[in-house]
């Protein structure tokens, strides 16, 4: 027996996901519905039904019982799956399929299917999906772990590509062709092999399941806090990869709704080594979005998360100030080396002040802040000719909560970001 989800917004949100996973728009789905039900598409009815579906997906209505069979057939799901908002999955095929095996919790079913001499599990079904795709869709974490233990899913190092997909989760089950609304479009622009993009997508989905199952060992194995694109950023260039294009909203929401231990894990700083063997400190790249969801849900941990983000931003500001001051001093000394500290002639003093302003200006040339993902980089040359600098991400939060204490913390957090931006301004 399954429980019908009584939250219309949850059901609507899940139904919208099902529709957009298969159709280009809700309107396209409505056309298919009317065509199946009436044998034709009447434009007047289409407008009314599109409005009706929009209301349902917003959580302002429900699917009528007499419409449910058509929804199930068009979306290739069971009525239980729709009515429970994805909490209850029921096979919709009677014969053994990738769908049914990935749905099963029975290890014997998995072994029987995976050990077939014809290697049927390596094939994709008529919908272009593998057992891995279905297992991730059904959140069947036990089966995912089984595939990892049997060598069908493996963490893989793709660092030779250096294009933002440095590591992922590989599989010997070959990837289907990309379809509409499937994986990140970044692959097409960067010329990255489709398999690498798919491996990173598998990794991200597996991380989501590991969080739900509190599998910290797997989180560490999959390098769960890090977006692989970060490894390609340097003190010389933090613009090479767009982290926002690799964002996974399901993962972000899972983190925001997780328990205290998971949130602690995702709000700790971590250190990575870039391609020039320099170490840099970061926080989870999408922490601002996690915080926004936590505030919306009135999560009691949001205060401590903001405290960590404030400390991270403050440390970044202090490090940047120190390096800017150091380089400004180097440039100033180079320009005024012919004078000693005792020179007090007015013209000399005025010249020195001008030199200092120029030194400050040129010292800022190596500073770049990328607002869309919060990446901050700076580089400069020391008086010994060595290149130094910093690379990190800084956190800002755009929402304005009613809670006074939380609002004050957000103001402090964003104030530090503003100070960093001000440091980089050229007069």
Residue-wise pLDDT tens digits, 352-403:
889 899 999 999 999 999 888 899 999 999 877 789 999 999 999 988 888 8
Exposure string for 353-373, b = 16+ CB within 10 A, e = fewer? eebbeebbebbbebbbbbeeb
Would you state the pLDDT for residue 182?
44
pLDDT at 378: 94
Angle 170-172-175 (CA atoms, 0-180°, nearest 5)?
A: 75
pLDDT confidence of residue 287:
96
Residues with Cβ within 8 Å of 208's Cβ and at least 6 positions away in sequence, in order, are 248, 250, 251, 254
Q: Which among 362, 354, 353 is positioned nearest to 328, based on CA atoms?
A: 362
272 contact partners, CB below 8 Å, separation of at least 6: 226, 230, 231, 279, 280, 282
> What per-residue confidence (pLDDT) applies to 420?
94
Q: What is the pTM of this model?
A: 0.68
Q: What is the pLDDT of residue 192?
A: 63
The low-confidence residues of the chain, meaning pLDDT below 70, are 1-6, 89-96, 116-120, 126, 157-166, 174-195, 239-242, 341-344, 426-427
pLDDT of amino acid 176: 44
Burial state string for 185-203 with b = 16 or more CB within 10 A and e = fewer than 16:
ebbeebebeebbbbbbbbb
What per-residue confidence (pLDDT) applies to 400? Answer: 83
- C-alpha 49/C-alpha 42 separation (Å) is 10
Angle at the Cα of 169 (from 105 to 191), degrees rounded to 5?
Answer: 135
Dist CA 273 CA 237 (whole Å): 15
pLDDT at residue number 426: 65
Q: What are phi and psi of 302, to 5 degrees?
A: -60, -30
pLDDT of residue 385: 79
Whole-number pLDDT of residue 396? 95
The tokens for 397 are 């939060």
Q: How many CB atoms lie within 10 A of CB 134?
A: 21
What's the CA gap between 301 and 287, in Å, rounded? 13
* pLDDT at 154 (0 to 100): 82
């Amino acid at each position: 027996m399954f429980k019908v989800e009584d939250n219309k917004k949850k059901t609507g949100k899940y139904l919208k996901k099902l529709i957009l996973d298969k159709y280009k728009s809700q309107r396209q789905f409505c056309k298919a519905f009317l065509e199946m039900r009436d044998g034709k598409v009447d434009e007047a009815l289409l407008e009314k039904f599109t409005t009706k579906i929009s209301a349902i997906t917003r959580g302002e209505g429900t699917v009528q019982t007499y419409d449910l069979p058509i929804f199930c057939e068009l979306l290739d799901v069971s009525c239980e799956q729709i009515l429970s908002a994805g909490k209850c999955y029921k096979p919709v095929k009677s014969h053994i399929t990738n769908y049914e095996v990935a749905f099963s919790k029975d290890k014997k079913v998995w072994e029987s299917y995976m050990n077939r001499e014809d290697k049927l599990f390596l094939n994709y079904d008529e919908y272009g999906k593998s057992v891995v795709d279905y297992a991730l869709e059904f959140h069947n974490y036990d089966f995912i772990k089984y595939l990892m233990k049997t060598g069908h899913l493996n963490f893989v190092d793709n660092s030779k590509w250096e294009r933002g997909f440095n590591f992922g989760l590989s599989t010997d089950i070959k990837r289907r062709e990309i379809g509409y609304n499937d994986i990140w479009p970044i692959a097409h622009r960067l010329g990255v092999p489709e398999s690498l993009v798919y491996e990173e997508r598998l990794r991200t989905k597996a991380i989501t399941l590991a969080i739900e199952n509190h599998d910290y060992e797997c989180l560490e194995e999959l390098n769960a806090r890090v977006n692989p694109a970060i490894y390609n950023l340097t003190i010389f260039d933090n613009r090479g990869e767009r982290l926002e294009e690799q964002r996974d909203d399901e993962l972000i929401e899972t983190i925001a709704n997780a328990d205290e231990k998971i949130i602690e894990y995702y709000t700790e700083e971590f250190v990575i080594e870039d391609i020039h063997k320099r170490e840099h400190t970061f926080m989870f790249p999408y922490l601002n979005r996690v915080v926004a969801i936590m505030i919306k849900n009135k999560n009691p941990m949001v205060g401590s998360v903001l405290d960590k983000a404030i400390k991270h931003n403050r440390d970044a500001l202090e490090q940047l100030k120190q390096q800017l001051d150091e380089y400004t001093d180097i440039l100033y000394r180079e320009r005024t080396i012919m004078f000693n500290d005792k020179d007090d002639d007015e013209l000399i003093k005025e010249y020195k002040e001008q030199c200092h302003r120029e030194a400050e200006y040129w010292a800022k040339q190596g500073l770049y802040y990328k607002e869309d993902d919060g990446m901050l980089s700076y580089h400069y040359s020391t008086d010994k000719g060595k290149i130094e600098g910093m690379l990190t991400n800084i956190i800002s939060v755009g929402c304005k909560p009613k809670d006074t204490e939380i609002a004050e913390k957000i103001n402090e957090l964003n104030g530090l970001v503003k100070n960093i931006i001000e440091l980089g301004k050229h007069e």
